[in-house]
Structure 1
Amino acid sequence: MSCTLLLLLLLLRGPAAAASRPPPAATPRLKLAFPELRARHGLRLFALERSCCYEALLLDEERGRLFAGAQNHLLSLALDDISQRDRKIYWPAPVEWREECNWAGKDITAECMNFVKILHPYNRTHLYTCGTGAFHPVCAFVEAGQHAEEPVFKLDPRRAEDGKGKSPYDPRHAAASVLVGEELYSGVATDLMGRDFTIFRSLGRRPSIRTEQHDSRWLNEPKFVAVFWVPESEDPDDDKIYFFFRDDSVERQQGLGKTSFARIGQICRNDVGGQRSLVNKWTTFLKARLVCAVPGPDGADTHFDELRDVFLLQTRDKRNPLVYAVFSTSSSVFQGSAVCIYTMADIRRAFLGPFAHKEGPNYQWVSYQGRVPYPRPGMCPSKTFGTFGSTKDFPDEVIQFARHHPLMYNPVLPHGQRPLFLQAAVPYTFTRIAVDRVTAADGHYDVLFIGTDIGTVLKVVSVPKESWHRMEPLLLEELQVFQDASPITSLQISSKRQQLYASSATALAQLPLHRCGAYGKACAECCLARDPYCAWDGTACTRYVPNTKRRFRRQDVRNGDPNVLCSEDPQQGSVPQKQLYGVEGSTTFLECVPKSLQAHVLWTYQRTPGDPQREVQVDERVVRTERGVLLRSVQRADAGLYLCHATEHGFTQPLLRLSLEVIGARQAAGMAAAGDPQLAAGPPGRKVWYRDFLQLVERPPLGAADRVCQRLWSRGRPLPPPRAYAGPPGRGQGEELRKARRRRTHEGPRAERGPRSASPW
C-alpha cells in the first residue's frame, strides 16, 4: 500500500483505527462528545476551586434547588441552571480533628477533610447532613428555607452532633441511609478501622438499635449501596425498611475462596429489639440473595454479583414500586455490566419462603424443614398478622430462631429471569442509574439513564417485544458528560424541568433529558429514533407533550415504522444532491455518514439516471470505510450517480445522491491554472480539493507519495509548495525552471533545505 493511501485511510478512520477494543454488545444510536454537548445541547457544569467529591445529591422540586455535598462544602444550586445563583456553606473539620487524623497516619491534604456523605430533607425548613469530619464523623442541621425565593442557606454549628453510626469515618467508604419521619436508618461502618459494619437506627425518640455485632451470618464485610422505606399495607406498623448491599457469602462452598453476593435485607420500622435476648438489636432482620444472571447451557449461569446502585421507581401503588439495580462482575475472565428489574411481590415471596440452615456432616446450607415458631420471624408486630404489640413481646424461641437464621434459602430473581440490559466487552462499567417513566402516544415507557466509570451516560428505553411482559432495551444515546472521564457518582432526574443532574469527583453537570433535534430533520429519522420524549410535529422532531392536540404529530415508540407514520410527509423523497469531480488515476472519496450509528449503509451506482441501480462492490480498488467509500485510481468508467442508503429497523431511506465526473489529468491541470470556477468551488475554510491531486499530476506517483510523507514526518524545514502544472515547458517555462534550480542550489546547507525530492521540480 502506498504511503499516500495509507495516510488517507488513517485520516478517514481517525483515532478509532488505532484502538483494539472489542466491539460493544450494543451500539448507541447517537453518540455525542463533550464539546458538542456544551456547544449545542445545553450541558452546564459547576465546580468549586480546591474541592472535590460531589457524592451526596438531593433534588428538591418545591424549593427549585439541587443540594450537594462535597469536600468541606455544602452547595445549593438552582435547578434551572446549576451554573447560576449558587449558595455555599464552608464546613471544614476543626483543626484539632485534622491534626489527630494526621497523627493517625492519614494524609492531611487528601483524607483529613470533611467529606459530606449524607444529605436528607428533615422538615419543611431544614436539611440533615453528615460528613466524615477528618475521621471524626459529624452531623448537623441546615436551614434551607421553605420556598424557592427565600435566600436562606446556613448551618448552625452549635447544633452539630456525633455522626457515629450515620456517616463513615473513611472518605473511601460508602454509606447508605434514609430518613423516615425523624429517624435515620443507616448502613455504615461504626469504627475507625472500618471493621464493625452495622445497620443502625438513630435520631428520633426511640433508643438506637443495630444488627448483631461480629456475626458473619448477619453481615459479612458488607458494602452498602441504598436504603428505601416501602409501606406494606394500610397499617403503618407493617412498614419495612429495605437495605441493598453486597457482602461476602457465608453459604459458599469451602475451598472456593471469597465470593461476593448481592443482597437485599429487611427490617420492620417498629422493631424495638428483644426483651431478654437481642436487646437493642434487630429482631426482624432477614436477608436474601439478589440474583442478576444470564442463563447459560447446562445450568451454568453467568452471574453479576457486584451490586453498584439501586433506583426505586414509584408506581401508582406506593406499596409496589419497581426496583432497578445495576450490577457488574468481579470475574477476571468475563467483564460486563447489567441492569435487572425486581418486583416487590418477588421480594416479599423470598422473605416468606424457607430459611437457610446449616446442617449435615459437611455443614452445608440447606432449606430448613423443621418447625418455624410463631409469629414467623421477620413479621412486624401489628394487628394485621397477630396480637403482639411490640417485638419485646415476642417469645424467646422466636428471638433465638431469628438470631440464628437471618438468611433466606430462596434468592430474589429478576423480572423475566434475565437482565433487562446488558453490556459486555466494553471499555466501561456501570456505576449509577436513574429511571424516568415517560408518557408517550402509545403507552408508558421507562427511560433508563445509566452512568459509567468513564464519565458517560447511556440513555436506554425499555419497549415491549411481543407483549408488555417481555421487554427489549434500545440504546438511544451515549453522552460524554464529563470531559475528564471521571466516574459518575450520582444521578438525579427532574421530570418537572426535564433535566438530568450528574455528579463526579471533579464537577456537577446538568443536561436536558432529550435532544429531539439531534435525531435529524426528516420524519423518518425522528420516527426511527423511538425516543418517547420526541415526536414529529409535521416540520421538525420536537418534544412530545401529552394532552396537546396537533394534527401532524407522529410517534410510535413500540414499532417505529416510518412507512406508516411518514407516508404523508411532504419532505419524503427529497434527497440532498452533491457534485464531485475526480481526476483520472487519482483517489476520490465518497463521504456519507448517517446520524444513527445503528444504521447500515448501502451504496448503489448507476451510469445514467435511466440505468438500473446496482450495489457498489468492494474490491482492491474500492475500499469501504466508516465514513464512506474510497475509490483508488479513479477510472473513466467510475463516472455516474452514486446513492447512499441507510437501513435501520427494516426501513431503508436514501441519504445522499453524489454525481461523480471523472476528468483527465491534463484537463484538470489546465482548468486549475485557468481558475475554472467549477474546480475552485468548495466549502469555505476547507482546502480546495484539486490541489492535492495536482501534486500527483505534476510529478511521478512515487515522488508525490514521498513528498507527502516527508512533509508530515520530516524533522527539517518543509519544502515550499509546488507550483501548478500548466502543460509541457516552453521557452519561457524552461527559463523559469533553470532560475528555480539555481535558487535552490544557493539556498544554503542541505540540512536546512530539507530532504531532496525525487521530482525533477
Structure 2
Amino acid sequence: MHTLYGTVGIYECFFLSLCFSVTLSGPELLQAGSVSLFLGPSDGLHSHSLLLDEERGRLLLGARDYIYLLDPDNLARAPRKIHWPAPWDQVEMCQLAGKHINLECGNFVRVLHNYNRTHVYACGTGAFHPSLNLGRNKELDLNLLESGRLKCPFDPLQPFTSVLTDQYLYAGTSSDFLGKDTTFTRSLGPPPDQHYIRTDISEDYWINEARFISAHPIADTYNSDDDKIYFFFREVSWEGNDKSIVSRVARVCKNDVGGLRSLTNKWTTFLKARLVCSIPGPDGVDTHFDELQDIFLLPTRDDKNPIVYAVFTTSSSIFRGSAVCVYSMADIRAVFNGPYAHKEGPSHRWVEYEGKIPYPRPGTCPSKTYDIVVDRVLAEDGQYEVMFLGTDAGSILKVVSITQNNWSTEEVVLEELQVFQVPTPILSMEMSSKQQQLYVGSSEGLAQVSLSRCHLYGQACADCCLARDPYCAWDGHTCSRYIPASKRRARRQDIKHGDPASQCWDTEDSLLRGPAEERVLFGVQSNSTFLECIPKSQQAQIRWYIQRPGSERREEVRECPNLHTLFP
C-alpha cells in the first residue's frame, strides 16, 4: 500500500446556498402531472437500493424484506414484488443485540446489480447477517442463498458502495457487526479466475473506519490491462495532531490478483490520495469542506475522462454548510503519478518519501504485455533476482533488485533492449536458464535474446564493476560471464555497491587514478567529430566539453547527439 503525498486539486467549487424563484408543492406537482409516486407499505418503504435497466424497460427497488419490480414509465402502476425476509432466528439475535426491530432487524436490500441478461445480483443486510442471492429477473431462489459478508453491510444505515463489472463485485463495506473494520474487496468473478482480494485488516493506514461513498470502473489508457476501479470514501485520520475526518479517492487495478507472503489475497496496486474541497475566503483563509457525502460522474466524449462532481459538508461545530466541488480525472491521475508519503520517525507521521521510486512504480497494473520473467542469479556477493520486463513499446528492460544492509531495496536498470525492428508490444516471454536465453514473442515474430552481453560493458575492470550486472565479472582480461571460483580475487564484481575502487585497485585502469577518465579529441572547425555519448553502463556518465581556439574556458556540450557534433 502506498499513500500519495499530493492532493487532488479543485476544478470548480460552489456553496449550496442558492435562491429559488419557483417553489412547487407535492400536490401541485401531482395536479400538473409532473410526478408519479410509489409509496409502498404504510409503515414505510425503507428503500436502500435502485436499479434502472432502460435496455430491458425495468426498475428494481430494494427495500426492507422486499424487492419491487416497477414500471419505469409509471410508478403508480401496481408493482410485482419479491418477498425476501430475514430468518426469524437472525431477527431475534438482532433484537437481543439491542437493535431496533423495524429500523434495523430486517433484511434491507442494499445491493442490486445486473449480473447478466437473465440474472440480477442482490444482497441484503439479513438482520445484521448479510446474505446474497443470484436470482432471475422476476424471482429469487432462496435455496441459493450464501453469506453476504464483505459484499454488503451489516447495518442498513451505514454508508456503503459497490459496483459489479465483468462479473466481479467490488465493494466498500464493514466486515464486522460493530462496523469498525472497513475494507474494500473484490469477490465473485467467472470461474476459474475467482480471486478474492481485500485491503489489509491489521494496518490502519490502509483504510481506517472508512465510510464508502462511490466506486466506478474507469479505463486509464487504451490498454485494457490498465483498467482500474476508482472509489471514493471518507475516513478517520491522525495525520495532524488530532483525530480528523479526511476525504479520499483511491484506486486498484482490475487485474490485480494479490501478492505473495504478507500480501496473499490483498491488493498489490492499492493507492489513495486526499480529496480536498475548499473555498478561498475574503481574508485569505480557506473554508474547508472535509466530509465527502456523494459522488456523481458526468460522462464526456472521452470515456476515460469523466467529470467528477462531489458533494461535501463541514464537520465544524462553528460553521455548518455544504458545497459541490468539481474535479477532472486528469488531475486525479496526475496526483496518483506524483510523490508518495510514508511513515517515518518515532511519531510515525506521514512525510514525503524522498528515496528512489521502485521500479516498476508502485500501483502499476500487471499486464499481458508487461510480463515479468525473473531469473535468480548467483554473484560474488550473494544471490540476486534479475527481472526481464516486456513493454507495450516493444522493448525489454533488464532490471536487478538489490537489497542493501538496511533492508531497503534498489532497482537498477541494467539494459533496455529493442529486439524487433518495428516497435510492437511484447506478447509473451519464456526463459531458458539452462541455455541462458530469453525467447520473446510479438506480432512481428519470435526473438531469441541472450541473458547477458558482458563484452559490451567495456574493456576495463572499473567499467565491468560499474555495470552491476550479476551475470558479468572482470576475469583479469575482459568483462565476461561470471563463474564462481575458489580464488576470491579471480573474479572482480560488486553488485551491491558498484564500487570499482574496492575491486580494481590493483589493476591499470586509468579510471581509478582520479574521479573520472578524461579523453581529449581534436576537431576541425566547420566539420564534424564523432563523440561517444552512450556509456558502457547505466551507472556511468559521459560528459563532453568544448574549448574554442583562443579561449581558456570550456563549455559543456549540453545535448550529446550520440553520433557526432558540429563545431561551428
Give the TM-score taking structure 2 as reference length. Answer: 0.61
> What is aligned with 2:48?
55
Q: Which residue of 2 aligns with 1:133?
A: 126
2:356 partner amino acid:
R
User: Is 1:273 equivalent to 2:258 in the alignment?
Assistant: yes
Which of 338, 341, 353 is 2:326 aligned to?
341
Shift, 1:199, TM fit? 0.6
Match of 1:231 in 2: 219
Amino acid at match of 1:324: Y
Between the aligned partners of 1:359 and 1:190, the Cα distance in structure 2 is 29
Partner secondary structure for residue 206 of structure 2: coil
Q: Are residues 1:167 and 2:163 paired?
A: no
Secondary structure of 2:303 counterpart: coil
1:102-136 deviation per Cα after TM superposition (whole angstroms, max 9, x unaligned): 23332333321100101111001111010000111
Q: Out of 111, 114, 130, which is 1:121 matched to?
A: 114
**Residues 273, 279 of structure 1: 8 Å contact kept:** yes
1:572-591 mapped onto 2 (5 Å cutoff): none
Aligned pairs for 1:522-541 (under 5 A) are none
The offset of 1:26, in angstroms, is 2.4
Q: Which residues in structure 2 correspond to 1:380-529 (within 5 Å)?
A: 380-382=365-367, 386-388=370-372
Name 1:192's counterpart in structure 2. 177
Partner of residue 289, structure 2: 304
Equivalent residues of 1:51, 1:72 under 8 A apart: no
Please name the residue that 1:211 is paired with.
Answer: 199
Matching residue of 1:653: none
Measured in 2, the distance between the counterparts of 1:65 and 1:389 equals 49
CA gap of 1:298–1:369, structure 2 versus 1, over 3 A, is farther
What whole-Å deviation, never above 9, does each CA across 1:464-499 have from its counterpart, x for those lacking one? xxxxxxxxxxxxxxxxxxxxxxxxxxxxxxxxxxxx
Q: Partner of 1:264: helix, strand, or coil?
A: strand
Cα distance, 1:141 vs structure 2: 1.7
Q: Aligned to 2:359, what secondary structure does the other structure show?
A: coil
What is the aligned partner in structure 1 of residue 231 from structure 2?
A: 243
Instruction: Provide closer, same or farther for how the CA distance between residues 298 and 85 of structure 1 changes in structure 2, counting only shifts above 3 A.
Output: same
Q: 1:327 to 1:389 in 2, by over 3 A?
A: farther
Percent identical residues: 51
2:23 corresponds to which residue? 31
Q: Which structure has the larger Rg? A: 1
Residues in 2 aligned to 1:157 and 1:244: alpha-carbon distance in whole angstroms: 33
**Rounded Cα–Cα distance in structure 1 between residues aligned with 2:226 and 2:17:** 43
Give the CA deviation at 1:196. Answer: 1.3
Aligned pair partner of 2:306 in 318, 321, 337: 321
User: How far apart in 2 are the matches of 1:197 and 1:24?
Assistant: 30
- Alpha-carbon RMSD across the aligned residues, in angstroms, is 2.5
Please identify, of 43-52 and 60-69, the stretch whose mean Cα deviation from structure 2 is larger.
43-52
Map 1:616-627 → 2, pairs under 5 A = none
Q: Displacement of 1:396 after TM fit? A: 10
Query: CA offset at residue 24 of structure 1?
Result: 8.7
Q: Partner amino acid for 1:244?
A: F
Does the 8 Å CA contact 2:16/2:322 hold for their aligned counterparts?
A: no
Deviations along 1:232-267, whole A, 9 cap, x unmatched? 122221110111000012322x1xx32111100100
Give 3-state SS (helix, strand or coil) of 1:186's partner: strand
Distance 1:316 1:363, change over 3 A: same
Q: 1:66, 1:246 → 2: CA distance?
A: 30
After superposition, the C-alpha distances for 1:385-431 in whole angstroms (9 at most, x for unaligned) are: x43389xx99798xx999xxxxxxxxxxxxxxxxxxxxxxxxxxxxx
Aligned pairs, number: 364
CA distance in 2, matches of 1:27, 1:125: 46
Residue 300 of structure 1: CA displacement?
A: 2.4
Q: Secondary structure at the match of 2:171?
A: strand
Q: Which amino acid aligns with 1:208?
A: Y
For 1:270 and 1:45, the matched residues in 2 are separated by: 42
8 Å CA contact 2:123–2:132 kept in 1: the answer is yes
Work out whether 1:109 is the aligned partner of 2:102: yes
**Whole-angstrom CA distance in 2 between matches of 1:184 and 1:42:** 36
Structure 1 position 44 matched with structure 2 position 36: yes
d(CA) in 2 for partners of 1:131, 1:263 = 26
Alignment deviations for residues 600-650 of structure 1 (CA, whole Å, 9 cap, x no partner): xxxxxxxxxxxxxxxxxxxxxxxxxxxxxxxxxxxxxxxxxxxxxxxxxxx
Q: Which residue of 1 aligns with 2:62?
A: 69
Which secondary structure state, in structure 2, belongs to the residue aligned with residue 312 of structure 1?
strand
- Which structure's relative contact order is higher, taking Cα pairs within 8 Å and 6+ residues apart? 1
Q: Deviations over 1:160-206 (max 9, x none)?
A: 11101011112221220100111100000011121211111111132
Could you say what secondary structure the match of 1:141 adopts? strand
Match of 2:551 in 1: none
Give ranges in structure 1 of 5+ residues lacking alignment. 1-22, 145-152, 403-761
Distance in 1 (CA, whole Å) between partners of 2:55 and 2:343 is: 51
Letter of the 1:280 counterpart: N
The change in CA–CA distance for 1:24 and 1:176 in structure 2 (over 3 A counts) is closer
Work out the CA distance in 2 between the residues paired with 1:96 and 1:172: 22
In 1, the alpha carbon distance for the partners of 2:16 and 2:270 equals 41
Question: CA contact under 8 A between 1:382 and 1:389: conserved in structure 2?
Answer: no
In 2: Cα distance, 1:236 partner to 1:290 partner: 26
Q: Answer yes or no: is the 8 Å Cα contact 1:76–1:87 preserved in 2.
A: yes
Partner SS state of residue 277, structure 1: helix
Match of 2:353 among 346, 368, 371: 368
The alignment partner of 1:242 has SS state of strand
Partners of 1:302 and 1:164 lie apart in 2 by 39
Q: CA deviation digits over 1:66-100, x for unaligned, max 9? A: 11100001011111111114111111011122122
Asked whether the equivalents of residues 196 and 214 of structure 1 are also in contact (C-alpha less than 8 Å), the reply is: no
Q: Which amino acid aligns with 2:289?
A: F
For 2:367, what is the secondary structure of its paired residue?
A: coil
User: Aligned residue for 1:81?
Assistant: 74
What is the CA-CA distance between 1:359 and the residue it aligns to? 3.1
Structure 1 residue 342, shift from structure 2 partner: 1.1
- Contiguous gaps of at least 5 residues in structure 2: 1-14, 375-386, 390-400, 410-568
Partner of 1:14: none
1:641-660 per-residue CA deviation (whole Å, 9 max, x = no partner) reads xxxxxxxxxxxxxxxxxxxx
Q: 2:196, 2:50 → 1: CA distance?
A: 26
Counterpart amino acid of residue 70 in structure 1:
A
Shift of 1:271: 0.8
CA contact (8 A) 1:216 1:250 kept: no
Q: Is the 8 A contact 1:44 1:81 kept in 2?
A: yes
* Matched AA of 1:65: R
Q: Is the 8 A contact 2:249 2:274 kept in 1?
A: yes
1:33-53 deviation digits (Å, cap 9, x = unpaired): 222112114211112214422
Task: Choose which of 331, 335, 350 in structure 2 pairs with 1:350.
Answer: 335
